[in-house]
Amino acid sequence: MSAPRSVLVIGAGMAGLGAARALAEAGCAVTVLEAGDLVGGRVRTHVTGEGLPVELGAEFVHGRPPELVALIQELGLDTVERDGAMLLFHKDGSLTDAYAEDGDSDASDVPDAFDVMERLRVWSDADPAKDLSFADWLAEQDLPEQSRASATGYAEGFNAADAHELSVRSLAVQQAAEDEVGGDAGYHVSGGYAQVAERLAAKVREAGGTIRLRTHVSAIAWKPGEVSAELVDDECVRAEAAVVTLPLGILQSGTVPITPEPGMVLQHAQRMRMGQVCRISLVFERRWWAELEHPRSEDLKRLSFLIDADRDPGSVLHPRFPVFWTNFPEESAVVTAWTGGPHADAFASLDEHAIAHLACSELARIFGLEREAVLNELKSHHMHDWTRDPLFCGSYSWVPVGAVDASAKMSEPVEGTLFFAGEHTDVTGHWGTVHGALRSGLRAAKQVLAA
């Protein structure tokens, strides 16, 4: 079978746009079908009335992944490293260094989350065929309770996962992948992450590709060498092949049926999990935390991250955020509150206004202030509920026990006609990341051209 001359790309997230550009520049007739009214998928930047970009989805460039870094540079965008102070907050109101390594710091000798993850990686590398849930593995380790809480909070929060299901093997693969790209450093796209998607979409169009927004695919029918995408308005769009970048939550829900079933792809999709997150960005009048009289005032002037040392999730009635971050070294007065995994469920019944008040209350508690003092500084708050968004049904994917091979299985072409991409199909260990999504799109494009 020769390489398809016409290709549908279902979804204009980073995977879809990456695949579309590569295919269009290779001479394929490419049509991108996007249900939403924006490109970028879960890369979404909201610009406030004052012109301040606030991220509602993906925010960090994790390390220096070559494909994404090269694309950002090509598109004429800049990144800024988020390299300020990282502090732990404690129940007694004190702030201490987080994950400090120098001997003069006030960090204790108790193993932190990263120490535990390194131990996990050694354990997994010794027996790559063995897999356990993170909770079960942790129960076997001789660690103090503080280390267990810290490691569980990190594993669940970062991966938006449930520690009782989260695969230890997947975490080891992920740790190795992060080391390859220097993933312990975080960067921010100056002016907003959405610019990457918008400028990449322009590249698709320049290469002759078509991007159709507000074009909702209701079903996909196919046979070898032919794909038909049925739209909600009864239009049918056809091509010789398709790159399907529907989010994992949509594949699992069956809301976009694929007929006939594409091999074992959907069964392997059911083996993975879609993570849940609650995050809200608080825009303040000024960087008030940098002006406090506090024993750590110098660190607060360059504050990047605040992390709960006790990982106290609060309760269903009074949930808490375990992680906050600022835009330092940028001067904008924005604080983002974050929780991921099972603890995010406690926020599900609350509206944005209530969540913003909870986040401000937590900041007041951390800094020993009255809640009204923090609320009086608040100008606006911004969030997007990816779990309830019917176009996504979740934030990003994670791997449960025994499913480390699921992404690779999903990435196998189906009779040279259907090709699957998206962060959940990344085979390099970078699940849940923008560069993982981009890599999967570029991989799918190569598969199409080699069909």
**pLDDT tens profile 109-140:** 788 888 999 999 999 999 999 999 999 999 99
Q: 409 near 272, Cβ under 8 Å? A: no
- Rounded to a whole number of angstroms, the CA Rg of the chain reads 22
User: Where does the pLDDT of residue 311 fall: very low under 50, low under 70, confident under 90, or very high at 90 and above?
Assistant: confident
Model confidence pTM above 0.85: yes
Q: How far apart are CA 82 and CA 360, in angstroms?
A: 22
For range 172-176, the mean pLDDT: 96
Bridge pairing between strands 378-382 and 277-284: antiparallel
Coil vs helix vs strand at 8:
strand
Confidence band (pLDDT; 50, 70, 90) for 2?
A: low
Alpha-carbon gap, residue 18 to 254, rounded angstroms: 25
Delineate the domains of the chain, giving CATH numbers in brackets: 6-46+192-272+403-449 (3.50.50.60), 111-181 (no CATH)
Give 220's strand partners. Answer: 229, 258
**Residue 328: pLDDT over 90:** yes
The pLDDT assigned to 318 comes to: 83
DSSP states of 314-371 = B-SSSB--SEEEE-TTS---EEEEEEEGGGGGGGTTS-HHHHHHHHHHHHHHHHT--H
| pLDDT at 53 > cutoff 80 | yes
Q: Give the percent of the chain with pLDDT over 90.
A: 91
- CA pair distance 190, 202, nearest whole angstrom: 19
Q: How many angstroms separate the CA atoms of 232 and 217, rounded?
A: 6
Supply the pLDDT for residue 96.
94
Q: What is the pLDDT of residue 108?
A: 58
Please state whether beta strands 45-47 and 217-223 pair in parallel, antiparallel, or not at all (unpaired).
unpaired
Which of 45, 67, 47, 65 has its CA nearest to residue 56? Answer: 45
pLDDT tier at 103 (50, 70, 90 boundaries)? very low
In the chain, the percentage of residues whose pLDDT exceeds 70 is 97
**Contact predicate 308/89, CB 8 Å:** yes
pLDDT for residue 265: 98
Residue 106: is its pLDDT beyond 70? no
pLDDT tens per residue, range 210-256? 999 999 999 999 999 999 999 999 999 999 999 999 999 999 999 99
Residue 287's H or E segment, with its range, is none
Q: What is the mean pLDDT of the chain?
A: 95
Asked whether the predicted pLDDT for residue 1 surpasses 60, the reply is: no
Contact between 384 and 286 under an 8 Å Cβ cutoff? The reply is no
Distance CA 179, CA 175 (A): 6
For range 296-325, the mean pLDDT: 89
Distances (CA, A) of 77 to 126, 132, 191, 199: 42, 41, 9, 10
Q: Tell the residue number behind the tokens 């790209």, with chain if given.
A: 181
Could you report the per-residue pLDDT of 59-96, keeping only the tens digit for each? 999 999 999 999 999 999 999 999 999 999 998 889 99
